[in-house]
Structure 1
């Protein structure tokens, strides 16, 4: 089992390492750059070439059954779920075969709405302590389930 982190905009990298360390699981932090490599023996920082979705492609090619992926990227999550990996978003929401189709449809709808109104302001809500707590609980449960 490995824990893959789509790291470029991930607010929970440290939490991932803490949970993985407790369970003795290898961590792959995948990014385009700008992240300081960890000296933790279970952590490998993977720098992919610059370009759109290069980190996503790298993770999607490798994550599979028994692995856990941390990402907010819904298309990447869909590929990982299809490959048998368990997926959790940084807010603690798990993505599964049962809900990934709905998540993709919602993402596409929101993209269409943003495209239709170029003056639309705002974005998602702020990342909270409750999100971090939900994430830690969800990641711990997923990693323990994947280890069985």
Structure 2
């Protein structure tokens, strides 16, 4: 059913649950898992831009590499990527460019008011994209 699964991570508590679900789904389906970290684009005019970008890129590389190591342990092929941009738009673009069948993302359980005012990356990906999204919740 699924050949290529995307797991965008931000290293949050919720992403650990989504990561485990994505790995289980990939193992069950015999699918390749793509682990993606998006460094949110900063103003290039900021004097600290390159330092912050370097630090966030390093963090992202460590996060997606950790997913790849878990994939190796479970026999799941994992491809990794760290990109810069608007998180939701970058995830949607990546999914379309890489033939992703399903995206696995967490929700953090924000209140409905918070979601209505601020939105979330997961909400935006669901609205903007054409790829199905499996949403996981934090475990109690």
TM range (shorter): 0.5 to 0.7
TM-score after normalising by structure 1: 0.50
Aligned length: 88
1:76 maps onto 2:125 in alignment = yes
Q: Is the 8 A contact 1:66 1:86 kept in 2?
A: no
Structure richer in helix, relative to its length: 2
TM-score after normalising by structure 2: 0.52
1:35 maps onto 2:35 in alignment = no
The two structures, once aligned, show a CA RMSD in angstroms of 2.4
Runs of 5+ in structure 1 lacking a partner?
92-126, 130-148
**Which runs of 4 or more aligned residues in structure 1 lie more than 6 Å from their structure 2 counterparts after TM superposition?**
none
Structure richer in strand, relative to its length: 2
1:47 Cα deviation (Å)?
Answer: 1.0
1:66 Cα deviation (Å)?
Answer: 6.8
Equivalence for 1:128: 139
For residue 5 of structure 1, give the secondary structure of its aligned residue in structure 2: strand
RCO comparison, higher one (Cα < 8 Å, 6+): 2
